[in-house]
Amino acid sequence: MTQATTANVKAERWSGGQSPYNVSYGKIMMWFFLLSDALTFGALLISYGTTRFASEVWPNPNEVFHSFPVISSLTDTPLPLMFVSLMTFILILSSVTMVLAVHAGHYGDKKGVIKWMLFTIIGGICFLACQAWEWTHLYHTGAWWGSFIDAPLDTVKHLFDFSKPGVTEALAVNPGAASAATHDFYNYFFTITGFHGAHVTSGVILNIMLLVNTVNGVYERRGHYEMVEKVGLYWHFVDLVWVFVFTCFYLL
């Protein structure tokens, strides 16, 4: 290599014939797609925040989400945050198994890739099953897109935290605000978790395709497992979005 100045090195890097980022085209494009998807989810979540800030009252997530499969049919004790925490752990763990699959791919360990991909797929399916249970349960309480339009205050009162300052006063002046807020809340909840669930589903399908290809030796013949890495990026993105959805809907 000749004594290149900084400017020359920069020009060489961008002069073609090589990746200026030292990353393959496919991986760069996956990252750029994830950026666009992050802005889409961001728009949905920020829209949720704007509506919430513009509402005098808002349902308390600890009142809305307090059920757990099987256990809730055996006891009346509310279990706020428990089920969603389980879902978060499942998705994080499936992300970890995906990293381990990518790691195995880096070392050309075909058996390792198969093992960890299997765990990732199972984790993804478990998450989808949990989300399906959550949706079904909420549906049976009357929640859905377009629900609680002009509903009487008594039907939604239990979702609000009256110890919070300003709530009782606001509802005395405008009792319809509770129903309107509940309606908005569920619209956003089903839309955002639904859009996320669609991403998880497509991710599971992609992972299954990866597994089949790995078993058939496609990547072994190709000489590298970069496809596992690229779909892995998508899968981690799905986990990332869930981390933010969990925070916005259940914690804040």
Give me the least distance between CB of 63 and another protein, in Å please: 9
43 vs 129, which CB is nearer to another protein? 43
Q: How many CA atoms lie within 13 A of 40 on its CB side?
A: 13
144 vs 161, which CB is nearer to another protein? 161
Span between the terminal Cα atoms of the chain, in Å = 55
Give me the least distance between CB of 245 and another protein, in Å please: 10
Give me the least distance between CB of 236 and another protein, in Å please: 5
Q: Are 38 and 243 a contacting pair, CB within 8 Å?
A: no
189 vs 225, which CB is nearer to another protein? 225
Q: Are 239 and 91 a contacting pair, CB within 8 Å?
A: yes
In whole angstroms, give the CA distance from residue 124 to residue 204.
6
Give me the least distance between CB of 20 and another protein, in Å please: 7
Give me the least distance between CB of 15 and another protein, in Å please: 8
- In 16-173, alpha helices (H): 25-53, 61-64, 71-74, 82-106, 110-140, 153-156, 167-173
Q: Work out the angle at residue 191's Cα, subtended by the Cα atoms of residues 193 and 136, and round it to the nearest 5 degrees.
A: 65
Number of Cβ within a 10 Å radius of residue 197: 18
| Structure token pair of residue 121 | 């797929």
103 vs 157, which CB is nearer to another protein? 103
6 vs 139, which CB is nearer to another protein? 6
